[in-house]
Structure 1
Amino acid sequence: MHESARELALTRRELTLRRERERLAADLHDLVIQRVYALGLSLSMLARRHPELRDQLEPLVQETDLVTGELREVIFDLRHGPTTLQALGELARDLIEDSSRVLGFEPDLHVLGSADAPIGEDVAHEALAVLREALSNVARHAGASAVEVSVGVQDGDVVIRVADDGARDVAVPSADGHGLRNMRARAVRLGGQMDIARPGRGTTVTWRVPTCERGSVDAPDGVEGLDQVE
């Protein structure tokens, strides 16, 4: 009886802790991260409308992106233990809901693969950062009316694909090269790759890396020029 009572107390304590972690994660998402994310996109759009202010506004945009990414990592750690495709898909859905407030519509999300497929924690963090950057690019530059996002595990790789129907001549502007370089560098560091296709109208970004990190890979020489369309 003593052992059963002890196990019951431990179970109750674990449930209480889990509920508190979930409450904290929800508060961070609903009360903080949405506002920071929207602020960053608003600053970016302001810089686009007023090129003379770009040098002053761009550091603020980058800082809000960093803050948003760090907050998402905290939420990720609060909500999840071992990372699976299902967990990554849930976080991707949260991110998409945030971006819809600025895009004016909600992108379609497809989660492809086995729900319990394991994904390295570092890989999951990087995948979410890339998805956030890709959606930010669409909101800032593409003038799109529809976006399709797929998050999946295929042949041992995590695959993130973002396809928009935006204007071809502004979907990947040179002014946004810094973000694209970061996305490409994240893939290279994890032993993967990123491809950009522009089939007629719109742009499709495909980011693919192994599900578990296989050791960091230094970015190749000339990475600064990797934002060019292939």
Structure 2
Amino acid sequence: MDRAPHPVAPSHWRWIWDLYFAVCLVVVLVLVVEEQAVSLPARLAAAVLLSLMALWYTAYGRAAVRGADGSRESWIFVGVAALLFLAAVAFVPTSTFALPVICPMVFLALPLTRAALVVILLNVLPPAITAIHAGTLARVHDLLPIAVLGVIFALLVGAYIDRIAGQNDERAQIIAELQARRAEVARLSHEAGVAEERARLAAEIHDTLAQGFTSIITLIQAAESEADTDRDAAYRHLGMAVRTARENLAEARAMVTALTPTSLRTETLADAIGRQVDRLAEETGIGAEYEVDGVTGELPTAVEVVLLRTVQETLANVRKHAHASDVAVRLSFTDTSVTLTVTDDGIGFDSTTGSHGFGLRGMRARAEQIGATLEISSVPGEGTTVRLEASR
């Protein structure tokens, strides 16, 4: 059974076959020209026919031999080449030595079964042509064994060529599948990266701009309620709102550029966290304590951002939900890690349920991004503790 059409060897290997074709044909031409048992005109005619076969392969055959598909172009190439070869054999029987050149071309151009039939004919016909030319069957007995051996050898070579071509086809199919899967993986990776970046931007906006706007609204509402009764307190709250608005604007500009918190550009992590704690105490009146243990040193920017955002989100939750009177923030440094602990004495919540807001989910996602450990423990009526530990 014939194989499906398959590609021949890659173009950068075709020069090997072309070299083999040229060397073999030159050798056959030399043998034909040197054949003294045949007249000079017959030798010249055979040489011309073999040369035409070479030109036919160069001009038409190299393009026709594309994949053993038995196309019309392949049959035309094989038919003309076979006629030129048989005609050369009719003039000079030594032209039969061109069979090692023609048979591989046939297997390259036609499906295996059809190529085998053509090759058998090409090996069997030369003895018959020689007998007809000599007018006697005397040499047929000598040529038939050679023809049979030639057929066997040609079929073995053809089967090998077909097998190699089939393997090339399988490899090409595997490569195509791998390339398709690579493209699919790249597409999925891109989509995952886009989704992750969107989630990160959402967390950035939630932890900075959204919380800042919430603080501004709270301060303005407080100022409105105090406008007629305590103007100094109202002005103080309005001043805080203006300051928060300016910080929000700076954060927005930072997100547009490098997404690094502006506070970490102008001050250390410990100072930035301290400022968040002081603001909470100033704006809400909650008793806030802040403590730093160990030698601070330098931390990776990603770790600093996660620590600062965790403090901002935790204090924002204290401000909006905890109804706490006291908050304690502790930042502890060791040689290998840094630990942030935020504890309040508020109303707490049930930390075993999964119905938490975007802020807590964002904190967990941030911790996972840097390989940190985040623990949130809370008991209704007894307060909440948030603990984040990250490697330095």
Question: How far apart in 1 are the matches of 2:391 and 2:330?
Answer: 16
**Partner SS, residue 107 of structure 1:** strand
Correspondences of 1:68-79 after superposition (within 5 Å): 73-77=261-265, 79=266
Please state if 1:179 is matched with 2:353: no
Structure 2 CA distance for aligned equivalents of residues 194 and 111 of structure 1 = 19
Q: 1:131 corresponds to which residue?
A: 311
Q: Distance in 2 between matches of 1:101 and 1:36?
A: 19
Task: Report the alpha carbon displacement of residue 175 of structure 1 after superposing the two structures with TM.
Answer: 6.8
Q: What's the RMSD between the two structures over aligned residues?
A: 3.5
Deviation digits for residues 130-157 of structure 1, max 9, x if unmatched? 1000000111100000000001223512
Structure 2 residue aligned with 1:8: none
Of residues 144, 152, 165, the one that matches 2:332 is 152
Provide the C-alpha distance between the structure 1 equivalents of 2:283 and 2:356, rounded to a whole number of angstroms. Answer: 18
User: How do 1:78-227 residues align onto structure 2 when only pairs under 5 Å count?
Assistant: 79-80=266-267, 87-115=268-296, 117-154=297-334, 156-169=336-349, 176-198=356-378, 201-211=382-392
Question: 1:147 is matched by which residue type in structure 2?
Answer: V
SS of aligned partner of 2:261: helix
- Render the CA deviation track for 1:67-109: whole Å, top value 9, x for unaligned: 67556812321x25xxxxxx22111111112222333224100
The structure that has the greater radius of gyration is 2
Task: Name the aligned partner's letter for residue 75 of structure 1.
Answer: S
Q: 2:222 matched to 1:41? A: no
Q: Is residue 38–residue 102 contact of structure 1 (8 Å, CA) maintained in 2? A: no
Q: Give, in whole Å, the separation in 2 of the partners of 1:182 and 1:175.
A: 13
Note the C-alpha offset of 1:118. Answer: 2.2
Q: Displacement of 1:110 after TM fit? A: 0.7
Which structure's relative contact order is higher, taking Cα pairs within 8 Å and 6+ residues apart?
Answer: 1
CA contact (8 A) 2:209 2:251 kept: no
- TM-score (normalizing by structure 2): 0.34
Gaps of 5+ in 1: 1-33, 46-63, 81-86, 212-230
Distance 1:188 1:88 in 2: 20
Q: Is the 8 A contact 2:375 2:388 kept in 1?
A: yes
User: Contact 2:350/2:378 (CA < 8 Å) preserved in 1?
Assistant: no
Select the structure that is richer in helix: 2
What is residue 5 of structure 1 aligned with on the other side?
A: none
Between the aligned partners of 2:352 and 2:319, the Cα distance in structure 1 is 12
Alpha-carbon spacing, 1:35–1:191, altered in 2? closer, same or farther (3 Å): closer
- Determine if contact 1:137/1:176 at 8 Å carries over to the other structure: no
Partner of 1:224: none
Q: Which has the higher strand share?
A: 1
SS at match of 2:341: strand
- Mapped to 1, the partners of 2:352 and 2:314 lie a distance apart of 10
- Tell me the SS of whatever aligns to 2:376: strand
Cα distance in structure 1, aligned partners of 2:210 and 2:279 = 10
**Deviation of 1:192 (Å):** 1.1
Identity of aligned residues (%): 25
Partner of 1:22: none
Q: Could you say what secondary structure the match of 1:136 adopts?
A: helix
Maintained 8 Å contact 2:295/2:334:
no
